[in-house]
Amino acid sequence: MTLTREDFTTLDNNDPLREFRDEFYLPEGMIYLDGNSLGAMPKAARARALEVIDQEWGEDLIKSWNKAGWFELVERLGAKTAKLIGAEADEVIHGDATGLNVYKAVAAALDMRAGRKKIIMEGSNFPTDNYMVQGLIKQLDQGHEIVFAEHDEIMDAINDDVAVLCITHVHYKTGRLLDMEAITKKAHEHGALVIWDLCHSAGALPVDLNGCNVDMAVGCTYKYLNGGPGSQAFVFVAKRHHGKAVQPLTGWWSHEAPFAFERDYRPRKDVRQFSTGTEPIISLATSEVGLDIFLRADMQEIRKKSLKLCDLFIQLIEERCSGHGFEIVTPRDHKVRGSQVAISSENGFPIIQALIDANVIGDFRAPDIMRFGFTPLYVSYTDVWDAVDRLKKIMDSGSWDQDKFKQVGSVT
Ligand SMILES: *Cc1c(COP(=O)(O)O)cnc(C)c1O
């Protein structure tokens, strides 16, 4: 049966998550399908940022380190994030960029598996993870080697030479979801450690790090978690590794007694050893607002709606935009899909620009992927209908085929 816009408004009316949409600011008329790249702004973030600036910084100044709990903020945010990813409160800490946490986690893991030289990574992964590990290997100069394996090659690549796997749970481009439990289990059978990158899964779907016996994990807060542009990342270290996993960027925030100001380094025995130095407090504080919203939402409902939004988007693309050479790259099987839909098209770049011009925000990933992220807390079913409707008009009229849509900016 062919779907109509009415079907989508009915779905919205029955959506158990519909109340959350009002907690986010979105410009009038915009359909925002890029929350997998930069999450929308929670309305309360603005007030929180002003409070930190005016009161905590302006009025209370240095006193705020104690009075406002600035020093413990990285732990408090960690404890909140832990609830979303199947971790204990004291296994997660916030700080630095994702790439830096990849560096720290892989360095710690290699140290724990001294003698083993192989690191499994996905070559098509978001490149910063690979770049950071390439830099680390060069710096260590101990003959480590990356074994690149794509999603269907990872299991076979695992053997007793592997020190660590550093792989991403949901692929940034295709949206493919890997089997965290099976991969982690096989890695452990061969004595390897596993680090999962959760950039496209934290806040997008239920994650169960301890249920899967994961060793370490990293993730960012500015995508699905709506932490704000450039907000800090987080790192998870399983409790059994505390005191054994020691990262090498041994700044004072990772010292056993930072305010003893000792000459020599002594590592903390908990996840705070993965801290390095003073963090950007305004950004940290603002990102807490996004986390607090998630703690009130049911992650199973988020997953249910996310799958349905993506299913409907795919169905509408196929029903209403056929004949335009679109190919759905994202797996259809729910078991191996994250919360985005990737479509390949040789004209992907100008089509995305024309869509943005029509106030439907997606993004383009070279060489030919149009990427649409679905964030169930603020994307509605009607948005899905309207987005495809606007895409259909652009395709049927050929209006994407204009020079103004072919100019490439510095960020795509
Ligand atoms: C977005 C993303 C990052 C971001 O890295 P930063 O160092 O925080 O800029 C890293 N890894 C993956 C897989 C990502 O999707």
Give per-residue pLDDT as tens, 356-378: 999 999 999 999 999 999 999 99
Give per-residue pLDDT as tens, 194-216: 999 999 999 999 999 999 999 99
Structure tokens at 19: 């109340």
Residue 223 falls in the annotated catalytic set: yes
Q: What is the pLDDT of residue 233?
A: 98
Q: What is the pLDDT of residue 276?
A: 97
**With contact defined as beta carbons under 8 Å apart, do 321 and 349 qualify?**
no
Q: For residues 288 and 402, what is the distance between their CA atoms, to the nearest angstrom? A: 42
For residue 207, give every residue at least 6 positions away whose Cβ sits within 8 Å of its Cβ, in sequence order, or none: 84, 85, 86, 169, 180, 198, 201
Strands 369-373 and 340-344, bridge-based pairing: antiparallel
> Which of 151, 171, 172 gets mutated to test ligand 1 (max ligand atoms within 8 A of its CB)?
172
pTM for the full predicted model: 0.97
Task: Provide the 3-class DSSP secondary structure of residue 366.
Answer: coil
Structure tokens at 109: 């893991």
Q: What is the pLDDT of residue 2?
A: 86
Give per-residue pLDDT as tens, 134-182: 999 999 999 999 999 999 999 999 999 999 999 999 999 999 999 999 9
Q: For residues 398 and 384, what is the distance between their CA atoms, to the nearest angstrom? A: 21
Which domains are seen in the chain, by residue range? Answer: 5-41+298-406 (3.90.1150.10), 71-296 (3.40.640.10)
Q: Catalytic pick from 197, 215, 363, 383?
A: 197
Q: What is the pLDDT of residue 94?
A: 98
Q: Could you say which DSSP state residue 176 is in? A: B
Q: For residues 383 and 308, what is the distance between their CA atoms, to the nearest angstrom? A: 13
Q: What is the pLDDT of residue 409?
A: 84
Strands 41-42 and 24-25, bridge-based pairing: antiparallel
Q: For residues 163 and 115, what is the distance between their CA atoms, to the nearest angstrom? A: 8
Q: Catalytic pick from 103, 172, 222, 374?
A: 222
**Counting Cβ atoms within 10 Å, is residue 78 exposed (0-12), middle (13-18) or buried (19+)?**
buried
Q: For residues 370 and 388, what is the distance between their CA atoms, to the nearest angstrom? A: 13
Low-confidence ranges of the chain (pLDDT < 50): none
Q: What is the pLDDT of residue 96?
A: 98
Q: What is the pLDDT of residue 408?
A: 86
Q: What is the pLDDT of residue 411?
A: 83
Residue 126 falls in the annotated catalytic set: yes
Q: For residues 253 and 272, what is the distance between their CA atoms, to the nearest angstrom? A: 7
